[in-house]
């Protein structure tokens, strides 16, 4: 063999070795990126039209945090966020401030009372509660017979508070229930609402709120309609070490995913399972039926303790009709009022509770991860008047 032949052979061997080393490096890199994610086989989802629960894992991928996740976030405590968010509530104070200034004029004329009525209606308090409040205010200011700001403020505060309903039970009922089999089941929460009201964000924030209370949580991404929703939820979960059960297939049966999420919660002895659903318009009968089915299927694994309807506070009265239809289909147990930061439409709290007979339990006050807080009527009214 010539020298040139030897050189060619040596070069060929070197290239081969480089290629083999490269392939090994790539494969091990991919494996470590997948980390602890448990990927279940992407089998076809059974449509389970007859409301039969699917075989567990038929549709869902359980995403776990890698065991050695470097830093998990510690969500803000409930007390801490309430303190911080009070200020945001105050930004929706136009209603209280305006009422206070009119009532302090003394000897109110009919045009003053019309101004009060207009202020209440513009803030979405609704016709019925507005009329009631006007009547009580007329009587009480007459009896009071003074324009002393502190006294007027006190009357207004107590009447607004009565309207908001301090006596309503706003607790999230999340204690694990005991099933017929005598075993503890996780408390399950179903989150519903029309498109874009903030459901996925609320589910993520709620997970953080629960983690801050040292509860163990599993999330279910049953919004299989919008692929990004499951990714969005996975990100929320990863940040606080909460597993997210999701479908690999866009358009998979949301009831199957919800079922898998609840079963995963049971098997891992989680305290709470929160299931996100796709946004839907109340006039789409098929989609509303689907919601009923999701709830029925979930409750085969564990009773659904809370059905939270997410309403966008800025849509005001438009949200009312939607809310009624949702309540008919799935027995809503609580309202989450999002985007209450910076809207002057805070009166919707009163209107929606009246129409549905369901309390506002949580309020969204910003886009930050911990901008969700329990709704406290006293704080709300004080913020309106601050």
Ligand X SMILES: Nc1nc2c(ncn2[C@@H]2O[C@H](COP(=O)(O)OP(=O)(O)OP(=O)(O)O)[C@@H](O)[C@H]2O)c(=O)[nH]1
Q: Are 358 and 327 in contact (CB under 8 A)?
A: yes
Name residues whose C-beta falls within 8 Å of residue 6's C-beta, 6 or more positions apart in sequence: none
Q: Which residue, among 300, 198, 229, has the nearest Cα to 258 in the 3D structure?
A: 300
Q: For the purposes of burial, counting CB atoms within 10 Å of the CB of 339, is it exposed (0-12), middle (13-18) or buried (19 or more)?
A: buried
Q: Which residues contact 74 (CB under 8 A, 6 or more apart)?
A: 212
Using CB under 6 A, which of the segments 106-114, 118-126, 254-262, 364-372 binds ligand X? 364-372
283's CB contacts (< 8 A; 6+ apart) are 325
CB 203 within 8 A of CB 219: yes
Beta strands 360-364; 334-338: pairing state: parallel
Vertex 193, ends 244 and 61: CA angle to 5°?
Answer: 20
345 annotated to a ligand binding site = no
- The verdict on 191 binding ligand X (CB under 6 A) reads no
| Closest approach of ligand X to the CB of residue 193, in Å | 6
Q: Is 341 annotated as a binding residue?
A: yes
Q: Which of 60, 242, 320, 365 binds ligand X (CB under 6 A)?
A: 365
Q: Per rule CB under 6 A, is residue 129 in the interface with ligand X?
A: no
Residue closer to ligand X by CB (options 53, 75) is 75
Residue of 271, 290, 341, 382 that binds ligand X (CB under 6 A): 341
Nearer to ligand X, 267 or 367 (CB): 367
The three-class DSSP label of residue 136 is helix
Q: Which of 64, 215, 226, 354 forms a contact with ligand X (CB under 6 A)?
A: 226
Give the CA distances from residue 98 to residues 102, 126, 127, 186, 384, in Å, rounded to whole numbers and listed in that order. 6, 17, 18, 46, 10
CA distance 223 to 203: 11
Smallest distance from ligand X to CB 377, Å: 18
Q: Is 151 annotated as a binding residue?
A: no
For residue 20, what are the contacts with CB-CB under 8 A and spacing of at least 6?
none
Residue 348 near ligand X by CB under 6 A: no
Q: Is 251 in the site for ligand X (CB under 6 A)?
A: no
Which listed residue (35, 367, 378, 386) binds ligand X by CB under 6 A?
A: 367
Cα–Cα distance for residue pair 355/131, rounded to 1 Å: 15
67 C-beta neighbours (distance < 10 Å), count: 7
196 binding ligand X? (CB under 6 A): yes
* Stretch near ligand X under the rule CB under 6 A, chosen from 26-34, 89-97, 195-203, 318-326: 195-203
Q: Is 386 in the site for ligand X (CB under 6 A)?
A: no
Answer for which of 246, 339, 345, 361 binds ligand X (CB under 6 A) is 339
Residue 201 binds ligand X (CB under 6 A): yes
Q: Does 39 count as an annotated binding residue?
A: no
Region binding ligand X by CB under 6 A among candidate stretches 30-38, 223-231, 315-323, 374-382: 223-231
Please, what is the minimum distance in Å from the beta carbon of residue 255 to ligand X?
17
Task: Give the 3-state secondary structure of residue 335.
Answer: strand
Q: Is 178 helix (H, G, I), strand (E, B) or coil?
A: strand
Q: Is 229 in the site for ligand X (CB under 6 A)?
A: yes
CB of 46 vs ligand X, minimal distance in Å:
24
Give the interface with ligand X as residue ranges (CB under 6 A): 193, 195-201, 223, 226, 229, 278-279, 338-339, 341, 364-367, 371
**Binding region:** 193-200, 276-280, 338-341
**Binding region for GTP:** 193-200, 276-280, 338-341
């Amino acid at each position: 063999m010539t020298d040139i032949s030897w050189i060619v052979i040596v070069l060929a061997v070197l290239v081969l070795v480089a290629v083999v080393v490269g392939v090994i490096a790539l494969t091990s890199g991919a494996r470590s990126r997948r980390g602890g994610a448990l990927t279940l086989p992407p089998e076809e989802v059974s449509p389970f039209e007859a409301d039969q629960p699917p075989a567990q894992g038929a549709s869902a991928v359980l995403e776990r945090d890698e065991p050695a996740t470097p830093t998990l976030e510690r969500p803000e405590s409930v007390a801490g966020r309430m303190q911080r968010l009070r200020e945001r509530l105050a930004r929706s104070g136009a209603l209280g401030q305006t009422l206070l200034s009119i009532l302090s004029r003394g000897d109110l004329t009919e045009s003053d009372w019309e101004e009060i009525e207009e202020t209440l209606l513009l803030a979405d308090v609704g016709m019925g509660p507005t009329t009631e409040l006007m009547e009580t205010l007329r009587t009480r200011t007459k009896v009071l017979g003074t324009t002393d700001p502190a006294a007027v403020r006190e009357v207004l505060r107590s009447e607004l508070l009565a309207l908001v309903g301090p006596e309503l039970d706003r607790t999230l009922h999340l204690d694990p229930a005991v099933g017929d089999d005598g075993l503890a089941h996780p408390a399950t929460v179903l989150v519903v609402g029309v498109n874009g009201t903030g459901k996925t964000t609320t589910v993520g924030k709620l997970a953080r709120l629960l983690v801050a209370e040292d509860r163990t949580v599993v999330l279910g991404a049953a919004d299989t309609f919008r692929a990004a929703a499951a990714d969005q939820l996975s990100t929320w979960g990863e940040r606080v070490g909460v597993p997210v059960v999701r479908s690999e297939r866009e358009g998979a049966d949301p009831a199957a995913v919800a079922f898998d999420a609840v079963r995963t919660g049971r098997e891992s002895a989680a305290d709470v399972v929160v299931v996100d659903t796709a946004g839907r318009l109340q006039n789409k009968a098929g989609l509303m039926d689907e919601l009923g089915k999701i709830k029925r299927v979930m409750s085969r694994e564990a009773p659904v303790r809370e059905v939270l309807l997410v309403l966008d506070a800025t849509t005001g009265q438009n949200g009312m009709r939607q809310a009624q239809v949702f309540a008919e289909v799935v027995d809503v147990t609580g309202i989450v009022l999002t985007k209450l930061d910076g809207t002057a439409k805070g009166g919707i709290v009163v209107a929606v509770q009246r129409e549905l007979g369901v309390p506002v339990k949580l309020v969204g006050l910003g886009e930050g991860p911990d901008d969700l807080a329990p709704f406290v009527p006293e704080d709300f009214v004080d913020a309106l008047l601050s």
